[in-house]
Amino acid sequence: MDGGMSRAEFLKGSMALGVVASMGSAAAEDAPASAKARVTEVDSLRIWFLADNYYDANRPDGKGFKRFRSLGGRSMHAEHGLSFYVETVVAGKTGAFLFDFGLDPVGVANNVSLLGLDVWKANAFCLSHGHYDHFTSAVSLLGKNREWIAEGTPFFAGEEAFLRRYKFRPGSADPTDLGQLRREDLEGLRLDVVEVRSAREVVPGAYLTGPIARVTPYEKVPPAYLVKRREKIEPDDFPGEQGLFFAVKGKGLVVLSGCAHSGIVNTVKQAQKSSGVEKVHAILGGFHLVDSRQQDIPVTVADIKAFKPDVLVPAHCTGFEAAVAFSREMPEQFVLNTSGTQYTFGA
């Protein structure tokens, strides 16, 4: 990465949000809206979808995004999984990290190769939550590229990310074992596993949300999701699920979600609260409406529309019905995502 930052620079910069978090809230409340931002603004931001559920080489590019074009046996892989590669530029320095790892390591590696990205020299790795379609490729891909990964590179994950999880599939009376990411496997790859319990800067200008407050009355985790805690299988409320947010100079917030089991509206509200930035420029990622109650889709669409984002990219677990609803209600903002697409925000 040209103009990239050293590990020492990254570690120094990552202290910034912790200092801000220690400040009292009264000063922030008294400040004018334009001065409330409590995070580092990025000059530019690039997000690649390394894996997503859908690929179509004939979809057109658009303002601010570019798709990969398959040609002569070179095709992007699509799967029931999600993975992002993210680059921020702050004051001429580039920070880079991976957010989630997808399901199929062969397919994700194929996409990384076709996109020509040097992802294994990233400054950090992050996991949104402990579900198989987000972590399964992690140990394999990180292990195969171990020689490129700096020892002690942080791997950020929220509370309960390393527990075993289950789900009742439609029509099944027995829960399906969704597997488990093991902390010791990551530590064995010389990574520094960091548990995130509050908003956290992972590279300059890129922030994990920390725990997402449940403020909407309708965004509930379905009872089909289970987790094993202390040898007991219980309903999963995803207390440690993480989203990402960025304040892009002159644009506003870009919010990036893995699955939004905590609710995509809740995730955006948490990003606004943590950053002090009200203007929402873009919302991307999994919105997890695929198995929500049908009556919850219209109210979710209405609340997302009320944020007035300029760009909306529902992906992965959003679900066909919800994606159609977003495209109808927000046709100017809606982008049908395809695996391998690069989004650029800012300069």
Residue 11's pLDDT is 44
Strand partners, 284: 256, 313
pLDDT tens per residue, range 277-292? 999 999 999 999 998 8
In contact, 86 and 97? CB cutoff 8 Å: yes
Q: The tokens of 330 are what?
A: 């927000």
Q: Is residue 306 part of a domain?
A: yes
Which whole number is the average pLDDT over 339-347?
96
**Residue 66 CB neighbours (<10 A):** 13
The residue ranking higher by pLDDT, 296 or 170, is 296
Tokens 């908003």 belong to which residue? 199
Residue 3's pLDDT is 52
Residue 7's pLDDT is 46
Closest CA to 211 of 233, 195, 228, 230: 195
Residue 184's pLDDT is 98
pLDDT tens per residue, range 205-240? 999 999 999 999 999 999 999 999 999 999 999 999
Q: Is residue 87 part of a domain?
A: yes
Residue 303's SS3 state is helix
Q: The tokens of 29 are what?
A: 């409340």
Closest CA to 248 of 104, 87, 116: 87
Which whole number is the average pLDDT over 52-81?
95
Tokens 């997302």 belong to which residue? 304
- Give percent of the chain above pLDDT 70: 89
Give the sign of the dihedral formed by CA 33, CA 34, CA 36, CA 38: positive
Q: How far from each other are the two terminal CA atoms of the chain, in whole angstroms?
A: 17
- Asked if the model's pLDDT at residue 43 lies above 60, the reply is yes
Total structural domains within the chain: 1
Q: Is residue 1 part of a domain?
A: no
Q: What is the DSSP letter of 120?
A: G
Q: Is residue 2 part of a domain?
A: no
Q: What residues contact residue 118 under an 8 Å CB cut-off, 6+ apart?
A: 1
- Asked if the model's pLDDT at residue 13 lies above 70, the reply is no
Q: Is residue 302 part of a domain?
A: yes
In contact, 272 and 278? CB cutoff 8 Å: yes
Residue 293's pLDDT is 86
Q: Is residue 175 part of a domain?
A: yes
> Rounded to whole angstroms, how far apart are CA atoms 154 and 280?
28
Which whole number is the average pLDDT over 306-334?
98
Residue 314's pLDDT is 98
Closest CA to 287 of 262, 253, 307, 269: 262
Q: Is residue 138 part of a domain?
A: yes
pLDDT tens per residue, range 163-183? 999 999 888 889 999 999 999
Q: What CATH number corresponds to the domain at position 206?
A: 3.60.15.10
Q: Is residue 118 part of a domain?
A: yes
The residue ranking higher by pLDDT, 26 or 247, is 247
Q: Which domain holds residue 166?
A: 7-346
- Asked if the model's pLDDT at residue 27 lies above 60, the reply is no
Residue 12's pLDDT is 44
In contact, 337 and 54? CB cutoff 8 Å: yes
